Amino acid sequence: LIPIISIVGKTDCGKTTLIEKLVPELVKRGYRVGTIKHDVHGFDIDLPGKDSWRHSQAGATTVIISSPDKLALVKKVAKDHTLDELAASYFSDVDIILTEGYKKEAKPKIEILRSGVSDSLLSSHDELLFIATDRPGNFADSPSYHLDDVSGMADLIEKKFLSEKKPQIQLVIDGQEVSLNEFAQLIITNTTLGMVSSLKGIKQPKEIVLKIHKK
């Protein structure tokens, strides 16, 4: 399971700015970081007049622009995706995901409290990983860090979420990741490797992606 941490707080409390500080700190420590921004009002990322916009306007469900160093995708969807759905579909190659928003999902939270902008917590104590604030020290029940103490925050994130090695197997059923105990991981991995190894032309697979749709 890829760890997902949500940065929450009131409008203009500095969520994007905190992400801008945490991402390079984690990258510097050797981790691959993904981010998810929640935009409940919709957005406009594709530029009018560009070819990709024209493809999308013509009715394509999914449009990709692919280049040797960057890939962009715009996809029409029928519903707001959950963080687990997004993680399973698009983030197989990162070590950790930071989200901007998503205060209603049950993921560990970093909540920003800033003088004059926010005074009370949005998050419950249970889901609160720590508070990032311009006046730390006043929160007896939860750890708090100064908004500038990026190294301290990254230490805690690293210790809590990045010390264990990455999973070798991921199983997603109807959009939800299924947690597997060690025995189930072993059975499924070995059975799948066994099935696949008997196929013509398959020698030493490094990555196997298997999708099954039932009518």
Sites for a copy of itself among residues 130-149 (CB under 8 A): none
Near a copy of itself by CB under 8 A, which window of 19-27, 110-118, 128-136, 138-146? 19-27
Candidates 11, 12, 30, 69; binder of a copy of itself (CB under 8 A) is 69
Candidates 5, 8, 13, 19; binder of a copy of itself (CB under 8 A) is 19
- The Cα–Cα gap between 32 and 27 comes to 6
Q: Which of residues 154-193 bind a copy of itself (CB under 8 A)?
A: 166, 168-175, 178, 180, 184, 187-189, 191-193
Candidates 4, 5, 8, 36; binder of a copy of itself (CB under 8 A) is 36
Asked if 42 touches a copy of itself (CB under 8 A), the answer is yes
Q: Which of residues 189-208 bind a copy of itself (CB under 8 A)?
A: 189, 191-193, 195-196, 199, 201-202, 204-208
Taking the complex as a whole, the smallest distance from the CB of residue 83 to a copy of itself amounts, in Å, to 9
Task: State which residue, 131 or 150, has the beta carbon closest to a copy of itself.
Answer: 150
- Tokens read off for 169: 């197997």
Chain center to CA of 40: 17
Report which DSSP code applies to 79.
S
Taking the complex as a whole, the smallest distance from the CB of residue 164 to a copy of itself amounts, in Å, to 15
Taking the complex as a whole, the smallest distance from the CB of residue 82 to a copy of itself amounts, in Å, to 9
Is the four-CA dihedral 141, 143, 148, 153 of positive or negative sign? negative
Going by C-alpha positions, the residue among 2, 8, 4 that lies closest to residue 110 is 8
CB burial readout 46-66, b (16+ within 10 A) else e: beeeeebbebbeeeeeebeee
Q: Which of residues 73-132 bind a copy of itself (CB under 8 A)?
A: 73-81, 86, 88, 90-94, 98, 100
The H or E element containing residue 112 is strand 109-113
Q: Which amino acid is at 153?
A: M
- The Cα–Cα gap between 202 and 210 comes to 14
